[in-house]
Structure 1
Amino acid sequence: MKFGTSGLRGLSVDLKGRASALYATAFGRYLLGSGMARPGDAILIGRDFRDSSPEITANCADALAALGFNVRNCGTVPTPALALAGLREKAACLMVTGSHIPADRNGIKFYRPDGEIDKADEAAITAAATELDRAGFAFEPRSTTPQDRSAECLAAFRERNASILPSGSLAGLKVGVYQHSTVARDLLVDLLQHFGAAVVTFGRSEAFIPVDTEAVSEETILKLREMASQHGLDAVVSADGDGDRPLVADETGAPLRGDLLGLIAASFLGVTAVVTPVTSNSGIETAGRFRVIRTRVGSPFVISGMQEALAAGENRVAGFEANGGVLTASDFEINGHRLQALPTRDCFVPILATLALAASRRQPLSAIASSHHLAFAAADRLENFPVETSARLMAHLRADPANLAAFLQPVGEVASISDLDGLRVRLKSGRIIHLRPSGNAPEMRCYVEAEDEAAAVALLHAGLERILWWANAN
């Protein structure tokens, strides 16, 4: 088990057993020991649609009930819906989800009563789990039956989103919803119809389908393009498995980058400061009228950056990641309603903000994207790439500037380097290539920017090929 950029991750077969109960117990003990919770307090649990999630959820419920918590089941709801319920009830939460990673893996996201855990919390939970393990932690299923709070949890989140646009704002738009296996699938349809859009649903699946909104697969893009053409759609929307990362494609079925969706959402909210990781487009700084704060990759770092912005006197603060998930640290007044701060990733605000912009401008999404004048960017990953190999590669590249220069020689000369999270290299041509091991899966990621789409795609392929070449040679 390992904490990554957002939550604990591991093999589903392991989490279906003792491991999930071990970490749930460690989390519960940490809450009790730190004074953040007391025996008898409520704790909320939600899950995604993975085959392994019900069993992992049951293990966590049993472990927390054994510690004296009042466990409440929120069912299959989007992660931001669970987080909102936790904040309103001042209750800790666990979301059983592997987000976008393959079905043979799963994970758990942890929330304190005041919001998402941070890196210090992760370290404390890990230490508690290690101590329990060394003490011979034994787990026996108890068949706990938590109180069902799924309807209330979903209704509160729907109410939040149903008021952020004026009535009929999306009238005239024909939007496809790629439902696959995301827990956001039904609420997306409901809200789009609520705002007046004509909706075409497709791709609903009972088997789990991993959808990575930061590196959309060619297979998924083909589906989006086919449906956009077949039904004359103005847009296609979807989300990852737990509904905290948006996917929006234009009228041709081409996905818009997540950082563009985040930028549109930031403008929609009227932020004074936005926090985003180093992997987001380098043009963000000049694309909006707000202060930009860069962080390492992962929601804990974005949340920390947002807290620092608030402490520095900013009063309209939000963040977004390159995957498009938007986090809010301030309350915002939107459409005459208060949008409560929700400092965890959310797919609904960026989706609705982007569609509303297209509807108000009466422009296709492709034109909306072009109007922001961001550098052409692309990203992809090598899956099932051993963590040990990633670590050796990054150590080699950092050991000597000559190593990095030799590695990148086929793609360009190094002009400058950022080592904030992975290696982000600006080449003398002005192009950018960023190499970064995933924080929560055996994957090696590559992000690029270039002067046009063809150059970005070529640089991305060249970067991935160099990674594979080095791995095979070493």
Structure 2
Amino acid sequence: MKFGTSGLRGLSVDLKGQASALYATAFGRYLLDSGMARHGDALLIGQDFRDSSPEIAVNCTDALAGLGFDVYDCGSVPTPALALYGLQQKAACLMVTGSHIPADRNGIKFYRPDGEIDKADEAAITGEATKLDRASFAFEPRGTKPQDRSAECLAAFRDRNANILPTGALTGLKVGVYQHSTVARDLLVELLEHFGATVVPFGRSETFIPVDTEAVSKETIAKLKDVARQHRLDAVVSADGDGDRPLVADETGTPLRGDLLGLIAANFLGATSVVTPVTSNSGIEAAGRFSVVRTRVGSPFVISGMQEARAAGQTHVAGFEANGGVLSASDFEVNGHVLRALPTRDCFVPILATLSLAALKRQPLSILAASFHLPLAAADRLENFPVETSGRLMAFLRAGPTNLAAFLQPIGEVGSVSDIDGLRVTLTDRRIIHFRPSGNAPEMRCYAEAESEGAAQGLLRAGLERIRWWAQAN
């Protein structure tokens, strides 16, 4: 088990055993020992549609009930819906989800009564789990029957989103919703129809399909393009497994970059200060109406940056990640209603903001995206890439400028380097290439920026090929 960029991750077969109960117990004890919760307090549990999630949720329910918590079952709901309900109820939450990673893996996201846990909380929970394990922790199922709060949880999130846009704001748009196995699938259809769009749902699956909105697979893009052409759609939208990362494709079925969706959402909210990771497009600073703070990759780092901005006196603070998930640390007034702060990733605000902008400007999404004049960017990853190998590669690249220069020699000459998270190299010809091990899975990620789509894709392919070459040679 390991905490990554957002939440605990591990193999499904392990989490279906006592590992999930171990970490749920560690989380519960941490809440009690720190004074953030007391015996008898409510604790909310949600889950995604993975085959392993119900069993893991049962283990966590039994473990937390055994500590004296009053456990509420919120069912299969988007992670931001669970987080919002937790804030409203002042209750800690636990979301069983592996987000976008394959079905043979799963995970758990933890929320304090005041929001998503941070890196210090992760360390404390890990320490508690280690102590329990060393004390020969043994889990015994209790058969706990939690109270069902799924309807209330979903209703609260539906109400939050139902007033974001004016009535009929999406009238005239024909939008496909790729439903696959995301827990956001039904609410996406409902909300788009609520705002007047003509909706074409497709691709619903009863088995889990991993959709990474930051590195959309060729198979998924082919599906989106086929449906967009067949139904003459203005856009296609979707989300990852737990509904906190958006996917928006234009009228051709071509996905828009997540950081562009975040940029649009930040402008839509009226943010004056935005926090985003170093992997977001380098053109964000010039394209928005706000100041920008860059962080390491992962929602805990973005949340920490937003908190610092608030502490410094900023009053309209939002954040987004390169995957498009939008967070807010301030209340914002939109469409005459107050949108309360929700400091966790959310796919709904960026989807609605982007579609409403297209409807308002009466422009195809492809034209709208090009109007922001961001450098062309591409991203992909090598899956099943051993963590040990990625660690050795990064150590080699960081050992000195000679190693990095030799590694990149077939690609270009090193200009400058940022080591905020992974290695982000600006070449002397102003192209950017970024190498970063995933924090969630055994994957090596590569990001590229250049003056054209072809150049960005070529740089990305070259970067991935150099990673493969080094792994085989070492």
Smaller-chain TM-score range? Answer: over 0.9
What is the match of residue 245 of structure 1?
Answer: 245
Measure, in 2, the Cα distance between the counterparts of 1:385 and 1:144.
39
Q: CA deviation at 1:289?
A: 1.4
AA aligned opposite 2:165: L
State the Cα deviation string for residues 156-206 of structure 1 (Å, max 9, x = none): 100000001000000000000000000000000000000000000110000
2:223 partner SS: helix
Q: Does 1:170 align with 2:137?
A: no
What is the match of residue 154 of structure 1?
Answer: 154
What is the match of residue 45 of structure 1?
Answer: 45
AA aligned opposite 1:256: L
What is the match of residue 337 of structure 2?
Answer: 337
Q: CA deviation at 1:400?
A: 1.4
1:201 partner SS: strand
Measure, in 1, the Cα distance between the counterparts of 2:334 and 2:362.
21
How many residues are matched? Answer: 474
The runs of at least 4 aligned residues of structure 1 exceeding 6 Å deviation read none
Measure, in 2, the Cα distance between the counterparts of 1:390 and 1:305.
27
Q: CA deviation at 1:288?
A: 1.0
What is the match of residue 395 of structure 1?
Answer: 395
1:344 partner SS: coil
Measure, in 1, the Cα distance between the counterparts of 2:59 and 2:342.
28
1:238 partner SS: strand
Measure, in 1, the Cα distance between the counterparts of 2:400 and 2:193.
56
Measure, in 2, the Cα distance between the counterparts of 1:243 and 1:288.
25
What is the match of residue 386 of structure 2?
Answer: 386
Q: Does 1:131 align with 2:123?
A: no
Q: Does 1:60 align with 2:76?
A: no
What is the match of residue 35 of structure 1?
Answer: 35
2:411 partner SS: coil
AA aligned opposite 2:48: D
Q: Percent identity?
A: 82
AA aligned opposite 2:238: S
Measure, in 1, the Cα distance between the counterparts of 2:311 and 2:145.
42
Measure, in 1, the Cα distance between the counterparts of 2:7 and 2:288.
30
AA aligned opposite 2:188: L
Matching of residues 396-435 of structure 1 within 5 Å: 396-435=396-435
State the Cα deviation string for residues 27-83 of structure 1 (Å, max 9, x = none): 000000000000000000000000000000000000000000000000000000000
Matching of residues 22-421 of structure 1 within 5 Å: 22-421=22-421
2:343 partner SS: strand
Measure, in 2, the Cα distance between the counterparts of 1:389 and 1:350.
36
State the Cα deviation string for residues 70-112 of structure 1 (Å, max 9, x = none): 0000000000000000000000000000000000000000000
Measure, in 2, the Cα distance between the counterparts of 1:16 and 1:307.
35
Give the TM-score taking structure 1 as reference length: 1.00
State the Cα deviation string for residues 318-343 of structure 1 (Å, max 9, x = none): 00000000000000011111101000
2:139 partner SS: coil
Q: CA deviation at 1:440?
A: 1.2
Q: CA deviation at 1:449?
A: 0.1
Measure, in 1, the Cα distance between the counterparts of 2:409 and 2:168.
54
Measure, in 1, the Cα distance between the counterparts of 2:144 and 2:215.
39
Give the TM-score taking structure 2 as reference length: 1.00
Q: CA deviation at 1:463?
A: 0.3
